[in-house]
Amino acid sequence: SRETIADGAVLLRGFVRPFEAELIPALRAIVKQAPFRHLITPGGHRMSVAMTNCGSVGWVSDPSGYRYDPIDPVSGQPWPEMPEVLRRLAADAADEAGFNGFAPEACLINRYVPGAKLSLHQDKDELDYRAPIVSISLGLPAIFLFGGLQRSDTPRRYRLEHGDVAVWGGSSRLFYHGVAPLADGEHSVLGRQRINLTFRKVR
Ligand code: MD3
Ligand code: FE
């Protein structure tokens, strides 16, 4: 199904289904090469969400700031390549939402265990806000908080489930958003966790 929730923001429930059999092993291979780690924010806080990346650049945070970096600071090596199945899924979802020719350079992969959350923030480390961000939810369901251009805008809440894809472009590209603390549970494929992948055009 396709549901528009704001200017340029489209929810595609279950869009992952036809890709899932290929996607899960591809994800496992990435995490083997570049394991999840808890980043430290410039403010010195350890994030409750663990992260890794694939693609030609990856998003990193450390005491010196936020940036996209071609090198994984843990391994000293380039991030794992973005698998074809992920490129295709992201491009197909963007097409479905009206953003043709989406070619992401980065895929940030977030892992939530019960209790982990992501505070309200804007995604502003990319150079071109005309490109959307495509996000894929896997594993345990989460409550996604979708605010507005001001941090003080009261967020709307959406439950994102395993297999849901969302595309965030247009004026919603710079809206504040976050994820409420993950409720405990057990998912048949991924166990006691939620994984979110976000595809970004960085340059
Ligand atoms: C709305 N991740 O990695 S994905 C992030 O579920 C991030 O892990 C969340 O926010 C997660 O930065 C939310 C959905 C999402 C991603 C980017 C957006 C929604 C967005 C950018 C603008 C507006
Ligand atoms: Fe974000």
Mutate to test the pocket of ligand 1, among 177, 179, 193, 195 (most ligand atoms within 8 A of CB): 177
Q: Which ligand is nearest to the CA of 145?
A: 1
Per the CB < 8 A criterion, the answer to whether 1 and 14 are in contact is yes
Domain range holding 131? 2-200
CB atoms within 10 A of CB 41: 14
Q: Closest Cα partner for 145 from 154, 156, 159?
A: 156
Query: What's the ipTM?
Result: 0.97
Read off the pLDDT of residues 66-125 as tens digits, 9 standing for 90 and up: 999 999 999 999 999 999 999 999 999 999 999 999 999 999 999 999 999 999 999 999
The confidence band for 136, taking pLDDT boundaries of 50, 70 and 90, is very high
Ligand nearest to the CA of 175: 1
Buried b (16+ CB within 10 A) or exposed e, 164-192: bbbbbbbebbebbbebeebeeeebeebee
Look at ligand 1, atom 4, and give the residue with the nearest C-alpha.
135
Q: Which residues line ligand 1 (CB under 6 A)?
A: 108, 110, 118, 123, 133, 135, 166, 168, 172-173, 175, 177, 179, 196, 198
- What pTM was estimated for this model as a whole? 0.98
| From 157, 168, 202, mutation site for ligand 1 pocket: most ligand atoms within 8 A of C-beta | 168
pLDDT digits (tens, 9 = 90+) for 23-56: 999 999 999 999 999 999 999 999 999 999 999 9
Summarize pLDDT for 144-190 with one digit per residue, the tens: 999 999 999 999 999 999 999 999 999 999 999 999 999 999 999 99
Listed residue (46, 4, 31, 5) closest to 155, CA to CA:
5
Tell me how many domains the chain contains: 1
pLDDT at 191: 98
Tell me, what CATH number does 31's domain have? 2.60.120.590
